[in-house]
Amino acid sequence: MKKLKIYMMLIGFSIFTGATFNLAKYTVGYFSPSSAAAWRFGLAAAVMLTILVFTEGIKKNQLRRNAVSYVMLGIIGIFGFNALFFLGLKHTSPVNGALIMGLNPLLTTIFARIILKNSITKKQAVGIIFAFVGVLLVITHGSIETIRTLSISAGDLIVFAGNICWALYGVLGRRFIKDGTPLSTTTYTMVVGAVSLAAVSLFSSNHTSLPGIPIEAWGAIAFMALFTSVLGYLWWNQGIKEIGASKTSLFFNLVPVVTMLISIALGTPVTIFQIIGVVFVILGVLISSGVMRVAKSKPEKTAVV
């Protein structure tokens, strides 16, 4: 029952993040990448800090023990990931961005093997393969020509660097945070990231004219702050604590599926290959999480004469 709750949280994370790709692309049309990220996480950090104060409270010993780790994770996972994510989407499409982020479970599993010494199980490997094939089908509509003609731009490389930061955020948090709760870890790292993003935004030469920004853009910022950042990061860290970084990361493969469903709701037609891709992604998540078991070959019985 507890695992089911965690899986539902991670599905919620995938839904919010799936919407974020298009929202982020929309907001950088009005905000600079640094200011969009700064506003999003400034609001999110304020909300998280308020929740922490009125629930768990500020535990000085915990904060002192993990201070260096919080700063490191805040710079890598909040500042690094989001600065690179917004900057990358300024120079590439949401489709390319989603495809690159589809590599996250693979990157996380590799980092978990190197840093945490986690073994890579058969079901994890099979799940990653199924899910990644599904992501390719969803994004490319099953067209080999689409894959062949995908060009790697500077924006793609920037998003990939952000993907590395996100994978490291989960693995390093598992490795270095001592006696921290998902709420405290999310809050303190988010505060560090928000301050860093705000500092970069203030000293950036590309300032945003606030009076000219439409209410819809502010709404997109608010959605990403409250849902993707506050709830999303909180649920993600809870998942890492309960089921580990590798299993949690596989839920990132649901993100392109959500993006596709949103596109369908907006009137974009869906192809049979995309539907097959959705099935592959779901199978990959089910296999890797252990809900669906990979069949094991049984040794043949030798008849006794």
Query: What's the pLDDT band for 302 if we cut at 50, 70, 90?
Result: very low
> Do 39 and 213 form a contact (C-beta atoms < 8 A)?
no
In a domain, 84, yes or no: yes
- Establish if 301 belongs to a structural domain: no
- Upper half-sphere CA count for residue 62 (Cβ side, 13 Å): 15
* pLDDT surpassing 80 at residue 206: no
pLDDT for 305 = 31
45, part of any domain: yes
Tell me whether residue 47 is in a domain: yes
Contact present, 250 and 285 (Cβ < 8 Å): yes
Which residues constitute the domain of residue 222? 1-289
pLDDT (tens digit per residue) in 263-274: 677 676 767 776
pLDDT at 300 over 50: no
Q: Is 142 left (phi over 0), alpha (psi -120 to 50) or beta?
A: left
63 in a structural domain: yes
pLDDT confidence of residue 141: 64
Length, in residues, of the chain: 305
pLDDT of residue 208: 61
| Whether the predicted pLDDT of 81 surpasses 60 | yes
pLDDT of residue 172: 92
Kindly tell me if the per-residue pLDDT of 303 is higher than 50.
no
Looking at the structure of the chain, the number of domains it has is 1
pLDDT tens digits, residue range 235-250? 988 888 888 887 788 7
Closest CA to 158 of 233, 96, 206, 77: 96
| 300 lies in some domain | no
Per the domain annotation, does 295 fall within a domain?
no
Alpha helices, DSSP H only, in 141-181?
A: 144-149, 154-176
Contacts of 274 (CB under 8 A, 6+ apart): 137, 138, 141, 142, 260
Position 80 pLDDT exceeds 50: yes
